[in-house]
Chain A
């Protein structure tokens, strides 16, 4: 696609679910938006994840954002032009060891304080609810509001809706540089030309640090690999999202995973199981830093498979048809980087979502759009997500 406009109000860099959500919420407000994606939409982490948004996994301050996202998903189901397979199936975090149960009890109390509806369910009752679950599972915490989406369709739904509001969505166009003049964003340079603009939003996920002109920000983002199995489609079993209680540990321990003796925890592997609408079961999860290497590894796959069988034993008789890895933008304190860069007027950052891109996509779009159009967000203390927190 050629760029026929020489000026747009806002440029969004990156066509993943975050970029497309931002483009949607901006275009809806009547802002002229051009989005640039170097490959296809959802070709990075947005097309390589399990599509889970589970509030009960989070603590404040992310919890508030995830709860807002889930609320927005319920609206988006009606307003977006593509059915993104929203499944209000709920989630269970399963205790497989005694220590897990104590953690879940403690979390339930905390979550309830934030009006998250969690229930603790023990052995027999749990298996009645989830007959496929292994008898090894001691109990689980259930959150019925948690949801599953098809992340590809979600990304395209945001993009198509943005287009309907006039956004210019460009694929196979790489943003090479952000040009800043006198402390203000002036333009962007792409491989197909230069465009003047007032606002630039960097939402290129793990690739955000490759854009020239942002060096001084020293964005603390690294690609974090997550590996997933895909099984053949089987009859929809309507199970809830099944999460390993160890997921609470593996999701946020980038800096100190090495201290674990257990190879599984060292490799940051915990079971995460969900079934897509077409019947495939997705089996995760792992987290490791391997640069931009998107291959799956036999070491991690074996540990993931072994762990997953402890939760859903019938998986041993189901064929795996594929494995994939996604590169998530890991921010070095596990929290996303959201908002305007204080030293550069008009430059906004929306990346560092780690493995929480789906859980945070709608709210990120809304926050960035609000900041650009109104100069403020309805989310309190949004400043805490600013890139400036990393400056010593």
Chain B
């Protein structure tokens, strides 16, 4: 696949997917954007980064110290790899900023030139709600719907242009109980939840980043910025933080080259925006994410050269692994990447076998011709907002990293601040939805809204959660949760 770097913009390329076995991509009205003065075609509804990628532009910025190329990585506003100057404003996260006709996008020479022409226009807004939910993924949406149905006045805030979190890019069918969307594809679950959000007339703000949580008398005050320019103050009695997680990096030479992306980021590109991420891919990690995304890459027309897994066993479900094997995709356990090859973009990868101690076996190196390397090596809870709010937290490796200390009811060490989903410990969308329901019901109980009904939902959700965690895959999570609950009991 051809890719362009800064100097070659204007070459007419289009990597938008036209045929897909599951998804249909309805593209918005065509618009024109300008990158360093050169016209690039885009569609309404695309983010800047997605539109650039679709045109073959894969370098978005350069590192401050060594000028190394920086590309797309996470696709959901968490990694800051894609910062560009947009209409004069430096350091805009292009992966979550939608295109607008006539938009001027520039490469930043050095860590952001301050804006020169600065019309001093910012807007201010105020919103009040009983409950504010930060993050509109499976946990946040479930919490919002549960609480709203019980009569709580809810506001849902999400920093992405599309609410739905990572569900909107899941094309596989979910497992679990029938009452909890088993057999339904992830993006369809998102649609169901979004429809309920609308039916319940739940207030929501998209493209809005919550920057801080402060104390204001007995209330909480959240500070947020919408569309990079509107300052919003939100007063609330309770907060559910459902900010999800960010993808982990892996250490190897050239791991920062464009072409090395988070598996979830690649999913966003191909399943949300319908853009082919590359021609030949290598997947690092054979957990569920690695296996599922590999299959989805095949559906998007990408040639998956193989999956490597450093552990002696495949981490994900056997059904996902079998699907790949049936397609003839090799899954190599006790193998991992040793180095990415390329100057401005990935041109290949060297993989090698590892021994019992995790050391590379000499002479086992193999060169693979790929232009895409996907990292599916775990997630880290996005706990920053909770740290800032002053919640006590602890490093719990079983839960993926620093986690706000919370109890079974998902309340943190600050009264009225709850967690749900991956931010409370890395798990799955199905458990995230249950945690969302529990947190939502708990807030309803605290607010005194339909208490008996809320208690019923809470108990029922606890049972579902227990059932979902009954598999041996959940042992680690349960151990981590037990540690967190213990810390909560000792919090004083």
Q: Give the B-binding residues of A (Cβ under 8 A).
A: 132, 232-235, 237, 279, 295-298, 309, 313-314, 316-320, 323
In the complex the two chains form, is A298's CB within 8 Å of B233's CB?
Answer: yes
The residues of A that contact B215 with a CB separation of less than 8 Å are 295
The residues of A that contact B390 with a CB separation of less than 8 Å are 295
Indicate which residue in B90, B116, B120, B211 contacts A316 across the interface (CB closer than 8 Å).
B120
Please give 14 more A-B residue pairs, beta carbons under 8 A apart, in addition to A234-B113, A295-B390, A314-B114.
A233-B64, A233-B111, A234-B111, A234-B112, A234-B114, A235-B109, A235-B114, A295-B214, A297-B214, A298-B212, A298-B221, A314-B115, A316-B122, A323-B212
In the complex the two chains form, is B214's CB within 8 Å of A298's CB?
Answer: yes
**Distance to closest chain A CB from B375 (angstroms):** 25
Known: A132-B114, A232-B112, A317-B115. A298 touches B223 (CB 8 A): yes
Known: A316-B122, A319-B91. A298 touches B216 (CB 8 A): yes
Residue B175 at the chain A interface, CB threshold 8 Å: no
Residue B88 at the chain A interface, CB threshold 8 Å: yes
In the complex the two chains form, is B212's CB within 8 Å of A235's CB?
Answer: no
The residues of A that contact B211 with a CB separation of less than 8 Å are 320
In the complex the two chains form, is B233's CB within 8 Å of A233's CB?
Answer: no
In the complex the two chains form, is B91's CB within 8 Å of A235's CB?
Answer: no
B89, B91, B221, most chain A CB atoms within 10 A: B91
In the complex the two chains form, is B214's CB within 8 Å of A317's CB?
Answer: no
**Distance to closest chain A CB from B107 (angstroms):** 13
Q: Beta-carbon contacts of B380-397 to A below 8 Å, as 1s and 0s?
A: 000000000010000000
23 A-B contacts (beta carbon < 8 Å) = A233-B64, A233-B112, A234-B90, A234-B91, A234-B111, A235-B109, A237-B114, A295-B214, A297-B214, A298-B216, A298-B221, A298-B223, A309-B120, A313-B118, A314-B116, A316-B118, A316-B120, A316-B122, A317-B90, A317-B114, A317-B115, A317-B118, A323-B212
**Distance to closest chain A CB from B157 (angstroms):** 16
Instruction: Tell me the interface secondary structure of chain B in the complex.
Output: loop
User: What 9 pairs between A and B have smallest CB-CB spacing?
Assistant: A298-B214, A234-B112, A317-B115, A314-B114, A317-B89, A314-B118, A233-B111, A235-B110, A313-B120
The residues of B that contact A233 with a CB separation of less than 8 Å are 64, 111-112
**Distance to closest chain B CB from A213 (angstroms):** 29
B83, closest chain A residue (CB): A232
A232, closest chain B residue (CB): B91
B233, closest chain A residue (CB): A298
In the complex the two chains form, is B88's CB within 8 Å of A235's CB?
Answer: no
The residues of A that contact B214 with a CB separation of less than 8 Å are 295-298
In the complex the two chains form, is A235's CB within 8 Å of B216's CB?
Answer: no
The residues of A that contact B110 with a CB separation of less than 8 Å are 235
**Distance to closest chain A CB from B465 (angstroms):** 33
A296 to B233, CA, bound (A): 16
A233, A234, A317, A323, most chain B CB atoms within 10 A: A317
A318 to B370, CA, bound (A): 38
**Distance to closest chain A CB from B112 (angstroms):** 4
A279, closest chain B residue (CB): B111
**Distance to closest chain B CB from A207 (angstroms):** 20
A341 to B476, CA, bound (A): 59
The residues of A that contact B118 with a CB separation of less than 8 Å are 313-314, 316-317
The residues of A that contact B115 with a CB separation of less than 8 Å are 314, 317
A319 to B216, CA, bound (A): 24
Q: Beta-carbon contacts of B89-104 to A below 8 Å, as 1s and 0s?
A: 1110000000000000
In the complex the two chains form, is B120's CB within 8 Å of A235's CB?
Answer: no
A295 to B88, CA, bound (A): 33
B213, closest chain A residue (CB): A298
In the complex the two chains form, is B114's CB within 8 Å of A318's CB?
Answer: yes
The residues of B that contact A313 with a CB separation of less than 8 Å are 118, 120
A297 to B215, CA, bound (A): 8
The residues of A that contact B212 with a CB separation of less than 8 Å are 298, 323
The residues of B that contact A279 with a CB separation of less than 8 Å are 111
A132 to B117, CA, bound (A): 11
The residues of A that contact B122 with a CB separation of less than 8 Å are 316
A309, closest chain B residue (CB): B120
A113 to B214, CA, bound (A): 47
In the complex the two chains form, is A317's CB within 8 Å of B88's CB?
Answer: yes
**Distance to closest chain B CB from A276 (angstroms):** 12
A298 to B233, CA, bound (A): 10
A233, A234, A296, A309, most chain B CB atoms within 10 A: A234
The residues of B that contact A319 with a CB separation of less than 8 Å are 91
The residues of A that contact B216 with a CB separation of less than 8 Å are 298
The residues of A that contact B91 with a CB separation of less than 8 Å are 232, 234, 318-319
The residues of B that contact A296 with a CB separation of less than 8 Å are 214
The residues of B that contact A234 with a CB separation of less than 8 Å are 90-91, 111-114
A298 to B122, CA, bound (A): 18
The residues of B that contact A314 with a CB separation of less than 8 Å are 114-116, 118
Indicate which residue in A235, A309, A316, A320 contacts B111 across the interface (CB closer than 8 Å).
A235
In the complex the two chains form, is B120's CB within 8 Å of A318's CB?
Answer: no
The residues of A that contact B112 with a CB separation of less than 8 Å are 232-235, 318
**Distance to closest chain A CB from B191 (angstroms):** 33
The residues of B that contact A232 with a CB separation of less than 8 Å are 91, 112
A295 to B110, CA, bound (A): 33
A376 to B110, CA, bound (A): 51
A316 to B88, CA, bound (A): 12
The residues of B that contact A317 with a CB separation of less than 8 Å are 88-90, 114-115, 118
**Distance to closest chain A CB from B225 (angstroms):** 9
The residues of B that contact A323 with a CB separation of less than 8 Å are 212
The residues of B that contact A297 with a CB separation of less than 8 Å are 214
**Distance to closest chain B CB from A49 (angstroms):** 20
A320 to B111, CA, bound (A): 14
The residues of B that contact A309 with a CB separation of less than 8 Å are 120
B225, closest chain A residue (CB): A319
A233, closest chain B residue (CB): B111
B216, closest chain A residue (CB): A298
**Distance to closest chain A CB from B353 (angstroms):** 41
A295, closest chain B residue (CB): B390
A317 to B121, CA, bound (A): 10
A234 to B112, CA, bound (A): 5
A206 to B414, CA, bound (A): 26
A359 to B64, CA, bound (A): 31
**Distance to closest chain B CB from A295 (angstroms):** 6
The residues of B that contact A132 with a CB separation of less than 8 Å are 114
The residues of A that contact B113 with a CB separation of less than 8 Å are 234-235
A235 to B90, CA, bound (A): 10
B114, closest chain A residue (CB): A314
A279 to B112, CA, bound (A): 10
A312, closest chain B residue (CB): B114
A135 to B113, CA, bound (A): 20
A112 to B214, CA, bound (A): 45
**Distance to closest chain B CB from A39 (angstroms):** 17
B109, closest chain A residue (CB): A235
A116 to B249, CA, bound (A): 53
**Distance to closest chain A CB from B62 (angstroms):** 13
The residues of B that contact A320 with a CB separation of less than 8 Å are 211
The residues of B that contact A298 with a CB separation of less than 8 Å are 212, 214, 216, 221, 223, 233
A233 to B112, CA, bound (A): 8
**Distance to closest chain A CB from B382 (angstroms):** 15
For chain B, residues 269 to 289, give those with C-beta under 8 angstroms from any C-beta of chain A. none
A391 to B352, CA, bound (A): 76
